[in-house]
Amino acid sequence: MSEQTSSHQAYGCLFCMSGTEEIISRMVHYKHPEVRICPATYDRFRFRKGMKTQHTAIFMPGYVFYQAEPDIMLPYDFPRDRGFRMLRDESGDWRLRGRDRKFVQWLFQQDCHLKVSEAYMENDQVRIRSGPMKDLEGSIEKIDRSRRCGLTRIEFHGKVFRIWLSFDLLTGKDEAGDA
């Protein structure tokens, strides 16, 4: 699907049972190929027995986000057995507004996937050089240097999500660049 200008697009969200996000995304995309839809995923590190591995996980279980033309009318007749519904405001409109819209627009700029950020040490401080944590710097509540991750606060639809986002800690002046 071609990349569309986000200023002319509307953003929405489906709520579903945790664990069905990928199925719901594929089903909606099959019925509506013009809609860009995806769950919010992220790369994270795991440390087990001294080994670091990277894997992808969903960071907002039960939520699937979509980008569509503002006048699209997605059907109300989604299968009830999948346990999902379209999030709407008080007037019944599916289009996100304000901070929720900004967040989902930012998420689509990341292709709904938050990659591992790059960080470096400056004196005693961990500084984010690039990646999604750079955009969320003001929302980082804690840094765990040993696990190389930061507890990040994300608000959406009146709920607060706290996610441990991973970062690669660069060493040496050359790698850290002019940050």
What tokens were used for 57?
């996980």
Instruction: Quote the pLDDT of residue 119.
Output: 86
Q: Please give the domain boundaries of the chain with CATH numbers for all domains.
A: 1-114 (3.30.70.940), 116-179 (no CATH)
User: What strands, in cross-sheet order, belong to the sheet with 113-114?
Assistant: 51-58, 41-48, 113-114
pTM of the model: 0.81
Q: What value does the mean pLDDT take over residues 151-167?
A: 87
Phi first, then psi, for residue 21 (nearest 5°) are -60, -45
Which pLDDT value is given to residue 178?
A: 52
Reference 21, options 56, 55, 65, 53; nearest CA is 65
More confident residue, 5 or 23: 23
Structure tokens at 48: 């087990």
| Cα separations in angstroms, 32 against 2, 73, 135 | 14, 10, 31
Amino acid identity of residue 102, one-letter, is K
50 confidence band (pLDDT: 50, 70, 90): confident
Q: What pLDDT, on a 0 to 100 scale, did the predictor assign at position 81?
A: 56
Rounded to whole angstroms, the Cα distance separating 141 from 123 reads: 19
How much is the pLDDT for 2? 37
Q: How many Å apart are CA 165 and CA 118, to the nearest integer? A: 11
For residues 112-138, give the mean pLDDT.
Answer: 83
Residue 154: the pLDDT is: 87
- Indicate the average pLDDT of the chain: 83
- The residue among 137, 131, 130 whose CA lies nearest residue 153 is 137
